[in-house]
Structure 1
Amino acid sequence: MSAGTEVATPHGAARIIRREADGDARATLILGHGAGGGVSAPDLVTAAGAAVAAGLHVVLVEQPYRVAGRRAPAPAAQLDAAWLAVVEHVRAEWPLPLVFGGRSSGARVACRTAADGGAVGVLCLAFPVHPPGKPEKDRLPELAAPTVPVLVVQGLTDPFGRPEPAPGRDVVLLRGDHSLKSDTPGLRAAVTDWLAGLVLGAP
């Protein structure tokens, strides 16, 4: 994995880490982290490795609040604006179809910005359907916002809830919780199969 590169955004510098595809790349997967963690989260590392092996470039995005050393996440509008600034930087460097993705809070950002950023698909790892114990505060409208194919990989015992499949949305349930650490082979297979169908023309 290469060293990080800072990218200017309207809300401070973001940091990106690039991983080049094995062979000729057909697309780029941009992945964002969760609210309290970074780009080294196990499920992000697994998804990135699966994408590289499947022939996609990968860009891991560290939001400006984390680059600046703050623990509390920035407001949604700031996260989205910073993300879209990174998207434009990546598009200029690698002019390929872009797949947005992320874990938890990062998945929400990917869904909210998919249309404005021109994503061809959205990969959601542990999408937080609602805060733990508060199912009435659901975020399903965000998950329903993309008009491109969506894959959600969710733990069976995730306290943040489980979304249902819907037209254009595949949901893969794996054993384990919000961390998605309990079934790494299952996660890798789900991401690989979905990306193959999305951008590589596989059955």
Structure 2
Amino acid sequence: MTAQDETFDIDTGGVQGYLHRPAGEAVGKLVLTHGAGGDLNGKLLHAMASGFARQGFLVLRYNLPFRQQRAAGPPNRARAGEDRDGIVAAADAIRDLAGGPTILAGTSYGGRQSTMLAAERPDVADGLVLLSYPLHAPGKPEKQRTEHLPQLRTPSLFVHGDRDPFGTPDEIRAALDLIPAEHRLILVEGGRHGLEPERGDVVDRTVATALDLFAIR
């Protein structure tokens, strides 16, 4: 059985999701979640979970608390702290299931909440993988979501489409300059906010860069 087929249900400690187990001993744990308009069944999340599992990660693909509460609709921004608590619970749910570093990963809103959590609590994770970070709302570049970035001490990988209306490549580069921790940027040619997993070898590039950035051999 290949690694991407070894998927197990998980529903513990208030965390709802699926575990993707690698074929052999795990090299690390990836805690992977969705954006404001999606859920754990998104195409990109499936592809990333399989890609990381093939390279030895134990992956938890899970729903944030707001999505557990209702099947559709955006999160309540006033209750974003509850979603960050959900990220902590997800990381705790698999922390002792395998060795290696614990990496928080998320698309858009889920990625932003992961960075905010890591800035507040650097002990929660050893690294971050941010897919389509929502730097600002489309058409509102003056309202950038960067206040916490100077406090981010966690090595971070950003994966961003060069046609993403939530942040141009130049805007993203300028924002990342605020981060004192080591960080990398993968630009996906032709990619928009909803990154397509088959475009530009985005899964393979993300996994390979993560392995290098987080010094996983």
Task: Give TM class, smaller chain.
Answer: 0.7 to 0.9
**Per-residue deviation, 1:72:** 3.0
Provide, for residues 19-72 of structure 1, a one-character-per-residue CA deviation record: whole Å limited to 9, x for no partner. Answer: 011322110010111011012222222221221111111001201221222523
Q: Where do residues 6-155 of structure 1 align in structure 2 (5 Å cutoff)?
A: 6-8=11-13, 13-70=14-71, 71-74=73-76, 75-114=79-118, 116=121, 117-155=123-161
C-alpha distance in 2, partners of 1:146/1:140? Answer: 10
C-alpha distance in 2, partners of 1:192/1:2? Answer: 19
Q: What 5-or-longer segments of structure 2 have no aligned partner?
A: 1-5
Question: What is the percent sequence identity of the aligned residues?
Answer: 26
Match of 2:216 in 1: 200
C-alpha distance in 1, partners of 2:202/2:136? Answer: 22
Matched pairs, number? 197
C-alpha distance in 1, partners of 2:158/2:150? Answer: 11
TM-score (norm 1): 0.87
C-alpha distance in 1, partners of 2:68/2:49? Answer: 20
C-alpha distance in 1, partners of 2:199/2:47? Answer: 7
2:193 matched to 1:187?
Answer: no
Aligned residues: CA RMSD: 2.1
Q: Secondary structure at the match of 1:160?
A: coil
Provide, for residues 150-182 of structure 1, a one-character-per-residue CA deviation record: whole Å limited to 9, x for no partner. Answer: 111111111101311546121111122001117
C-alpha distance in 2, partners of 1:16/1:40? Answer: 10
C-alpha distance in 2, partners of 1:182/1:89? Answer: 27
C-alpha distance in 2, partners of 1:103/1:148? Answer: 17
